[in-house]
Amino acid sequence: MNSQKKVKKIYEFIRDNLYFNRPDIEIKGERFNSTMLLAIITGLNRGKALIIGEPGLGKTTSAEYACSLLYQYPLGIIWSSEVSGHPEQTEEKIVGRPDLGKLNRGIEEVVWSNFSQLPVKIVDEINRLPETKQSMILDGIDRGNWEYLNRIIINEEYCLFATANYQDKGTNTIIAPLVDRFDVVVESKHPGPSLSFMISDNNKENMLRNPLYEKKLEKVLKTKMPYEEKLPQIEEICDQLGDHFKKELGVEALGHQERRRIESEIHKLEFDMDAGAFTIMLIAELSFCYKYGQKRSDEGCDEGCHYTGYLCHDVKNCASNRLPSSIKKYSQAIAWLLGNSNIDIEIVRAIIPYTIAHRIQWKEDFISKREKNRRADSLQIYLAKEAVDEVFHRYGEQKENIKHAFSVGFRILNGEDLEPIEGDHPVYAEIKNDLNYLGDV
């Protein structure tokens, strides 16, 4: 069985036995549940996903199931590594603590937490962490480095899931730099009454639990040996559990080598021309300001600006450089899963709303015009989908001219004596800016 089929089988196994929910996204004729699909993509491709939703609708469990099968960890170990968001959370519980026995003897050693050691990282209810403590996990999330007492462990392979409830008395705002580090946001929705009722019949969690392997793994994780030496032992136990899953559940989990091979296959996939042009067009709308050079959170739009019809007029902040990375990372993985030889515009269009929904701060006017519309998604995801549809519509009207403008831009920078292509969209102005600034390429 090839790896795509294996991953699809994992998706189907979870869909049929563990996480019951309705499909709510269709890509190239295949229908998926967005939460489960993005959880699997996040696990496969070292992603960072923020899962939002009402309490009890499977935000955490969707991530747990996906990671258990993608990484061959029993649920009990995943639970033991989870960080729960509450105001009293400390660095010692999240990252590691001093080895008190050795400290009494004057030796500084760190006992690393399961959270920092496991490739699967789940932060439950991240918005219950006070804002100051959220920044504590920023570095770890960004680079896979966990530091304590001048000691460091480096996760070569990791993915992050954080869940967040909607705002209530106990929640805080997730700080902007942390929000931007999440590649995608997705809502774990109510499955509907019939599927919800089925959930009560199912003793499903036991499927992915195994006390024997949980004990074995816990023992290795607690061993006071260098982290690098633990990894092969952990891998060996995980492979044994993978065999157990295959034998008992009929589903093949992914081993370390296979995950690495999949990752390298995923990274080979490139945007086709339309997907690339559309993505650049969208980024232009989310970062462009004719008057002030770029969007800035503390600067507004002037009355009567020529570009009022574009998203730059509807957003407060500027798209970060992490946005294109997130779009590419998730589009590549979807394209790989669907067996595509490259990333086409349909994939990009389906993925982008989940990559911008949490990053974009919309102006009140944009929100108020749409918030009462009939919709199936949470407001932020709905607004992102609306915005992407708008840009997609514009791209459909101008795509030939835009691609032509890019190709002429390429030729000008290569020394040909041509005039940049004119057009009514921020992207044309940005091409001219590139030509002005990069003229000596």
Partner 1 sequence: MKNPFERFKSYSSRRKEIPLDSIIKSKDMVIDKLVAGYEKVVEEEVKSLVWVVERGRLMEAYSEAEEAIADIDYKAEDIEELCYELDGNERLPYLITGPAGIYISALCNHAGENEITLKLGELRRKMHMIGYRLPSKKRLIIEGDMGNFVGSHLDGGELILEGSARDWAGAGMRKGKITIKKYAGYHTAEWMIDGEIRVDGRIRGIGKVVNGKIFEMGKPVYPSSNHLSSGNDSFR
> Can you give the binding site for partner 1, defined by CB under 8 A?
270-271, 273, 276-277, 400-401, 403-404, 406-407, 409-411, 413-414, 431, 434, 438, 441
Strand partners for 282: none
SS3 content of the chain, % helix, strand, coil (to 5): 55, 10, 35
**Whole-number minimum distance, CB 235 to partner 1, in Å?**
38
**Whole-number minimum distance, CB 239 to partner 1, in Å?**
40
Token pair 């294996």 is found at 6
Contact assessment for residue 41 and residue 4, using Cβ atoms and an 8 Å cutoff: no
Residue 67: CB atoms within 10 A of its CB come to 26
Q: Specify the residue, 248 or 270, whose C-beta has the smaller distance to partner 1.
A: 270
Q: Specify the residue, 212 or 441, whose C-beta has the smaller distance to partner 1.
A: 441
> Can you tell me the distance from the alpha carbon of 138 to that of 244, in angstroms, rounded to the nearest whole number?
36
> Can you tell me the distance from the alpha carbon of 113 to that of 110, in angstroms, rounded to the nearest whole number?
9
**Whole-number minimum distance, CB 348 to partner 1, in Å?**
14
Side-chain-side CA neighbours of residue 412 (13 Å):
19
Q: Specify the residue, 152 or 418, whose C-beta has the smaller distance to partner 1.
A: 418
**Whole-number minimum distance, CB 385 to partner 1, in Å?**
26
Q: Specify the residue, 76 or 409, whose C-beta has the smaller distance to partner 1.
A: 409
Contact assessment for residue 372 and residue 383, using Cβ atoms and an 8 Å cutoff: no
Q: Specify the residue, 393 or 404, whose C-beta has the smaller distance to partner 1.
A: 404
Helix axes 227-249 and 211-222, enclosed angle (nearest 10): 170
Q: Which of 150, 148, 146, 175 is nearest to 158 (CA)?
A: 146
User: Can you give the length of the chain in residues?
Assistant: 441
Q: Specify the residue, 335 or 383, whose C-beta has the smaller distance to partner 1.
A: 335
Angstrom distances, CA of residue 421 to CA of 20, 272, 411, 418, 425: 51, 21, 12, 9, 11
**Whole-number minimum distance, CB 407 to partner 1, in Å?**
4
**Whole-number minimum distance, CB 398 to partner 1, in Å?**
11
> Can you tell me the distance from the alpha carbon of 436 to that of 316, in angstroms, rounded to the nearest whole number?
26
Q: Specify the residue, 64 or 272, whose C-beta has the smaller distance to partner 1.
A: 272
Strand partners for 306: none
Q: Specify the residue, 327 or 360, whose C-beta has the smaller distance to partner 1.
A: 327
Return the SS3 of 297: coil
Element (H, E) at 432: helix 426-437
Token pair 């258990």 is found at 68
Contact assessment for residue 160 and residue 139, using Cβ atoms and an 8 Å cutoff: no
> Can you tell me the distance from the alpha carbon of 140 to that of 160, in angstroms, rounded to the nearest whole number?
10
> Can you tell me the distance from the alpha carbon of 250 to that of 175, in angstroms, rounded to the nearest whole number?
42
**Whole-number minimum distance, CB 220 to partner 1, in Å?**
45
Element (H, E) at 322: helix 322-337
Q: Specify the residue, 31 or 404, whose C-beta has the smaller distance to partner 1.
A: 404
Q: Specify the residue, 120 or 277, whose C-beta has the smaller distance to partner 1.
A: 277
Backbone angles phi, psi at 25, to 5 degrees: -145, 135
**Whole-number minimum distance, CB 46 to partner 1, in Å?**
24
**Whole-number minimum distance, CB 421 to partner 1, in Å?**
9
**Whole-number minimum distance, CB 324 to partner 1, in Å?**
12
Q: Specify the residue, 242 or 276, whose C-beta has the smaller distance to partner 1.
A: 276
